[in-house]
Amino acid sequence: MKSDVIVGIAGLALGISYFVQSLALPKAFIGNPWAPIYFPISLGILMILCSAILLYTGIRKKRREEKILTSVPWFYVLGTMAIGFIYAFIFNKIGFIPSTIFFIGALLIIINGKKGLITNIIITIGLTLGIWYCFEKILYISLP
């Protein structure tokens, strides 16, 4: 069975059970007797609807797992992991701004290649300085 179908069935069972149990909640003595039950009932109905949609789309969707497994871009995965390890290693040594410029710039070069080098540089510097400004000047949180 597909994972969407399994999760859809489990969510549907849980939603129905939650809905039925919410009907057994005690009613209020003052005001509207159903008032404390509206929210749990609506949560149960929402869970049933979402699970039914997931189950329906899971049954209709035809997955090609062999294609997905063979078409994994390992260069992106391993490159991102390597850059993340380097970033974690140099972050405290050289500080936030240079290490984040390296990190974002290297990720953008992996994703976009060298064709958009000027755009990558502008995005890298702008994003790094924007994050630094938000933390340092707005939130008053100092970065290394």
25-47 pLDDT, tens digit each: 888 888 777 778 888 899 999 99
Structure-block tokens of residue 64: 């090609």
Number of domains composing the chain? 2
135 and 82 housed in the same domain: yes
10 and 49 housed in the same domain: yes
CA distances from 67 to 2, 64, 72, 88 (A): 16, 6, 9, 33
Is residue 86 situated within a structural domain? Answer: yes
| Mean pLDDT of all residues in 60-87 | 74
108 and 135 housed in the same domain: yes
Q: Which has the minimum average pLDDT: 65-74, 90-99, 118-127, 131-140?
A: 65-74
Is residue 69 situated within a structural domain? Answer: no
Is residue 44 a contact partner of residue 19, using CB atoms and an 8 Å limit?
yes
Burial of 109 (0-12, 13-18, 19+ CB in 10 A): middle
Residue with tokens 């970065």: 143
3 and 38 housed in the same domain: yes
To the nearest whole percent, how much of the chain has pLDDT over 90? 40
56 and 98 housed in the same domain: no
